[in-house]
């Protein structure tokens, strides 16, 4: 780890960059992942680098949906593994979800490196290596998922997913919780619960809500989900960006 003074005004952003860089060095994150991070940072800057009240509500709805799910799966790619490995494991524990590695630029080597990395952070089982099912409507490599994982899931949390796959999953009837800082991306547009927030903040927030909601009844969770309006959430995020001051 490098030394960044916590007082630095861009502390979080610098730490994030460093984690992504380390991810590339470790063979976990692809070079494309660096570009995706840059794209995300631009939006985060415009959103004031904090969780908006609207995103907070989305994170609560996401926790409710994960707790209601029969078979929830958390999808992990190279950026997610570099940024929040331990946090993903904690969320999986809090919601009784499976973790599956799911890569845009899929190589066996990177799949294994990510699975190992997650295990180093406490994951007991990591799916994705079986790749014995296909999401319909995608080209061969990008369609690969585990039959007893994402393929069978009723709710999938897909942080930083690419638009094509988010759409193909939605067409399969899977409910998607998408974390993506771009409120206009195709991924957020196809989500049942779009979370426009940095994954660094979003994952611990969802976990916190899940712990709070753990003892709630089915009806209360349904209510929490029903109160959430996806179109509204995206609209709020866009308004925040448009009205933000760029100091």
Which residues are at the interface with ligand ATP (CB under 6 A)?
36-37, 39-40, 43, 160, 162-163, 179-182, 185-187, 198-199
State the minimum distance, in angstroms, from the CB of residue 196 to Mg ion.
12
Q: Is 187 in the site for Mg ion (CB under 5 A)?
A: yes
Token pair in block for residue 37: 């991070």
Token pair in block for residue 207: 């976990």
How far apart, in whole angstroms, are the C-alpha atoms of residue 15 and residue 37? 12
Rg (CA), the chain: 17
Token pair in block for residue 174: 């899977």
Interface characters, 106-145, with Mg ion (x: CB under 5 A): ----------------------------------------
Strand partners, 72: 155
State the minimum distance, in angstroms, from the CB of residue 164 to Mg ion.
9
Q: Which is closer to ligand ATP, CB of 51 or CB of 198?
A: 198
Q: Is 48 in the site for Mg ion (CB under 5 A)?
A: no
Specify the residue for token string 């992942």.
33
Q: Is 174 in the site for Mg ion (CB under 5 A)?
A: no
- Dihedral sign computed on CA atoms, order 117, 149, 145, 208: negative
By CB under 5 A, the residues from 50 to 79 that bind Mg ion are none
Cα distances (angstroms) measured from residue 124 to each of 108, 163, 174: 20, 29, 25
Q: Which is closer to ligand ATP, CB of 65 or CB of 198?
A: 198
Q: Which is closer to ligand ATP, CB of 100 or CB of 161?
A: 161
Token pair in block for residue 223: 């209510």
State the minimum distance, in angstroms, from the CB of residue 158 to ligand ATP.
10
Query: Considering only CA atoms, which of 187, 149, 158 is closest in space to residue 71?
Result: 149
Stretch that binds Mg ion, among 19-27, 51-59, 142-150, 186-194 (CB under 5 A): 186-194
Specify the residue for token string 């196809």.
190
How far apart, in whole angstroms, are the C-alpha atoms of residue 185 and residue 20? 21
Q: Is 185 in the site for Mg ion (CB under 5 A)?
A: yes
Which partner, Mg ion, ligand ATP, none, binds residue 39 by CB below 5 to 8 Å per kind?
A: ligand ATP
State the minimum distance, in angstroms, from the CB of residue 38 to ligand ATP.
8
State the minimum distance, in angstroms, from the CB of residue 167 to ligand ATP.
9
DSSP-derived letter for residue 127 is: B
Contact set with Mg ion (CB under 5 A) = 163, 185, 187
């Amino acid at each position: 780890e490098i030394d960044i003074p916590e007082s630095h005004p861009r502390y979080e952003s610098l730490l994030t960059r460093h984690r992504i860089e380390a991810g590339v060095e470790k063979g976990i994150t692809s070079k494309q992942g660096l570009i995706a991070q840059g794209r995300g940072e631009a939006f985060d800057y415009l959103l004031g680098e904090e969780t908006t009240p609207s995103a907070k509500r989305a994170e609560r709805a996401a926790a409710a949906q994960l707790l209601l799910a029969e078979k929830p799966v958390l999808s992990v790619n190279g950026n997610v593994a570099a940024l929040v490995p331990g946090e993903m494991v904690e969320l999986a524990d809090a919601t009784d979800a499976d973790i599956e590695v799911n890569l845009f630029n899929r190589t066996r080597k990177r799949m294994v490196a990510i699975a190992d990395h997650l295990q180093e952070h406490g994951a007991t089982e990591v799916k994705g290596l079986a790749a014995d099912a296909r999401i319909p409507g995608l080209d061969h490599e990008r369609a690969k998922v585990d039959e007893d994982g994402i393929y069978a899931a009723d709710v999938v949390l897909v942080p930083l997913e690419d638009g094509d796959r988010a759409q193909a999953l939605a067409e399969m009837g899977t409910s998607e919780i998408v974390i993506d800082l771009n409120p206009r991306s195709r991924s957020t547009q196809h989500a049942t619960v779009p979370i426009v927030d940095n994954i660094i903040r979003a994952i611990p927030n969802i976990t916190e809500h899940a712990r709070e909601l753990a003892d709630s009844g089915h009806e209360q969770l349904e209510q929490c989900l029903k109160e959430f309006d996806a179109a509204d959430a995206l609209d709020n995020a866009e308004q925040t960006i448009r009205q933000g001051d760029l100091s």
